[in-house]
Structure 1
Amino acid sequence: MPTVAAGLVRDVLNFAVSEGADRDTLIAAVELDGAPLENQDARLPAAKFIGVLRAASKMLGKPDFSLNYGKASRFDDFSIVGLISYGANTLGEGFEQMNRYAKLVLDTGVAKGRQRFQLQEDGDCVWVIDQRPNPNMTPELTETVFARFIGDFGRYFEGERPYRAFHVTHEKPTHWQAYEDLFQVPVTFGAKWNALKAHKSWLELTTGPKNRYAFGVLSDHADALMRELEASETLRGQVEKTLLPMLHKGDVTMEKVAETMGTSRPTLYRKLKAEGINFETLLDDLRRTMAVSYLAGGKASVNEVAYLVGFSETSSFSRAFKRWTGKAPSEWRG
């Protein structure tokens, strides 16, 4: 399953405490007792980061908590990727570095060979598109990452306003006005993508003098971390990452997964068996995990969750959910 750097979890936890949340209560709510938060490069389940965002929002009574955190956080404070990105010659080059090492911060399950962020030209502007799978499951991630773009840019280039529009795929939330106040551009909810539009000149801006030696040292360390992260990924994790973007299609077969992974069905079957894994059981477990996460987030209806995890009939999903948890989906939502 997707993972996150412990430094990011520590950063959002510290921000929540600075806003008035009780640290011990938050740690208990997200089950972070004993987590290696002081080791910035340690890996934790991505659900821990989402859990802190949601628990802090509820505890503080601030539905716009994720936006506020994103704007206030400094990418170069909690991650080596931030240091490398802002150590590049231009913001365009920094963007390339961020994409190169994005999974060191938060591995969102983007398929192998696909970048987390894509740049798409639109006249004299460019769209920065977040390509993570199933974005509506975690609109908090959309809020934090794009709010951080705004916050970090404002710290380096006070007074500059290269942005033209902001689109998100989730529906209009109760705190929609916070979007307008933060981005100060037209915001479209329920859009086809999660993307920020900016003038192309944004990519040519530079953050000041660079220390190329330090940049090289940081890049070498990041490369080592990437190799370590990729080596630690089990076959199960690779299959789950491949399944996530196709889960909603329902008819997910081992043949399709094998083809996407660049292997054959017999080879994938043999390798999974060697790890003691049955494909159907893995798929069922992933559907359960995602369904529970969707419902806990409170952002999707039962019908929508059924679709997102690959069920064409809500009744079939309800029976499966009862088998998984002993409760009906409506009871789980509480």
Structure 2
Amino acid sequence: MKHPTVSAGIARSMIDYAETRGIPRARMFEAVGLVEADLSDQDARVALATYREIIEVAKRGTGDGAFVLNHAIDTELSDMSVVGLIVHSSASMADAMTELNRYARLMVEVDVMEGGERFTVQPDESGVWIVDNRPDPNAFPELSEAAFARFESEFRREFPDRPFARAIEVTHDAPAYAEAYERILRCPVTFGATRNALCIAPEWLTQEFDAYSGYVFGIFADKADALLAELEASDSLIARIEGWALPNLHRGALDAETAARDMGMSRQTLYRRLKDEDATFAGVLDGLRFRMAREYLAARKVSVNETAYLVGFSEASSFVRAFKRWSGQTPSAFRATPERGDVA
């Protein structure tokens, strides 16, 4: 059952960096409910919510609001993700952007409106803007910080004598550490903008990379394709909603707006993607309640009244009516003959 995730390599890099900034490693792991083994494979997945906790713990522990910006500048993507290896073995920046869009979800899973690309290129009179198309970006502004600081970091390292970012626009309001943005990113930053975008000189789009190797690139791409296939195999939004709802099913009232926010998308995006899967939010919850009710009743370890509570009904009578609608029989009849109820 799916929740948005990040690669374990990126989560581990955050903890490694926090350790260099004075936070005991064991304290970080304990605070976010992880152990070293959870992050031993950089291609494993960590819940996006846990990644966010890592960031918050690191910011509090170091007293550095700009922790995410500093982490991106001081670390290398190729040390934490196969995506970094692919980007660095690409033939040119244009190719690197293509591959970044293709494999971005291996780093951090985010939803993009209409199934489009995470990053698009939009030229204007001031230069070329790399636009981050995450919906509802202000719900997690640190992802915007990480994205743009990472662009600056990688190109600053490869081309130390050439300025990369000309200007940056972000949709979130200026944080308490706003002065750190321009100091770290070395360019003007506009807060409260209408988009999240980074401006570069047009000639960067034709920049070729000296380290290009078609053979090495192919090896990394094959690895990334396999990882992406694994990720997409479990990417049903229905499964993600069920995974989100299950721990709180007994509470009854679960709303789409909260689900969308917790999964990092807008409510409109959630409805649209459910429509693509020929489903509705209410229908997914209804189906989950029916499935869980059948499991509880078939196991015969809880009563009908207890089952009603476990699947979110405050009154047993409402549960009985719903169960008859779902299966054509009462919960008591199903519980007495679970083998027949299972095929109802």
TM-score strictly above 0.5: yes
Q: Measure the CA separation in 2 of the matches of 1:162 and 1:235.
A: 37
Q: Measure the CA separation in 2 of the matches of 1:151 and 1:129.
A: 17
Q: Measure the CA separation in 1 of the matches of 2:194 and 2:123.
A: 16
Q: Which residue of 1 aligns with 2:165?
A: 163
Q: Which residue of 2 aligns with 1:54?
A: 56
Letter in 2 for 1:40: Q
Q: Which residue of 1 aligns with 2:278?
A: 263
Task: Please give the residue correspondences for 1:5-24 in structure 2 after superposition, counting only pairs within 5 Å.
Answer: 5-24=7-26
TM-score by length of 1: 0.74
Of residues 246, 261, 266, the one that matches 1:246 is 266
1:80 shift after superposition: 0.4
Q: Which residue of 2 aligns with 1:40?
A: 42
RMSD: 2.6
Q: Is the 8 A contact 2:118 2:133 kept in 1?
A: yes
Q: SS of the residue aligned with 1:118?
A: strand
1:192–1:40 CA distance, 2 compared to 1 (3 A): same
Letter in 1 for 2:222: D
CA-to-aligned-CA distance 1:87-127 (integer Å, 9 cap, x gap)? 11101110110110000111023356221111111136211
Q: Measure the CA separation in 1 of the matches of 2:270 and 2:22.
A: 48
Q: Which residue of 2 aligns with 1:195?
A: 197
Q: Which residue of 2 aligns with 1:311?
A: none
Q: SS of the residue aligned with 2:17?
A: helix
Residue range with higher mean Cα deviation, 216-225 or 268-277: 268-277
Q: SS of the residue aligned with 1:163?
A: coil
1:225 shift after superposition: 0.9
Give aligned pairs, total.
271
Residue range with higher mean Cα deviation, 30-39 or 168-177: 30-39
CA-to-aligned-CA distance 1:212-233 (integer Å, 9 cap, x gap)? 1111111111111111111122
1:82 shift after superposition: 0.8
Q: Which residue of 1 aligns with 2:140?
A: 138
Q: Measure the CA separation in 1 of the matches of 2:153 and 2:290.
A: 44
1:19 shift after superposition: 1.2
Query: Which segments of structure 1 move beyond 3 Å, counting only runs of 4 or more?
Result: 237-246, 256-259, 262-265, 268-278
Q: Is the 8 A contact 2:6 2:109 kept in 1?
A: yes
Q: Is the 8 A contact 1:235 1:272 kept in 2?
A: no
Identity percentage of aligned residues: 35
TM-score by length of 2: 0.72
Task: Please give the residue correspondences for 1:204-243 in structure 2 after superposition, counting only pairs within 5 Å.
Answer: 204-237=206-239
1:117–1:237 CA distance, 2 compared to 1 (3 A): farther
CA-to-aligned-CA distance 1:243-296 (integer Å, 9 cap, x gap)? 85432x7xx996x5544x26366xx87777655579xxxxxxxxxxxxxxxxxx
1:210–1:277 CA distance, 2 compared to 1 (3 A): farther
1:264–1:24 CA distance, 2 compared to 1 (3 A): closer
Q: Is the 8 A contact 2:110 2:134 kept in 1?
A: yes
1:185 shift after superposition: 2.0
User: Higher Cα Rg: structure 1 or 2?
Assistant: 2
Q: Which residue of 1 aligns with 2:100?
A: 98
Q: Which residue of 2 aligns with 1:109?
A: 111
1:43–1:111 CA distance, 2 compared to 1 (3 A): farther
Q: Which residue of 2 aligns with 1:152?
A: 154
Q: SS of the residue aligned with 2:224?
A: helix
| Unaligned segments of structure 1, at least 5 residues | 279-334
1:52–1:200 CA distance, 2 compared to 1 (3 A): same
1:264–1:69 CA distance, 2 compared to 1 (3 A): closer
Q: Is the 8 A contact 2:23 2:62 kept in 1?
A: yes
Letter in 2 for 1:101: Y
Q: Is the 8 A contact 1:166 1:197 kept in 2?
A: yes
Q: Measure the CA separation in 2 of the matches of 1:175 and 1:246.
A: 27
| Unaligned segments of structure 2, at least 5 residues | 242-258, 292-344
Q: SS of the residue aligned with 2:210?
A: coil
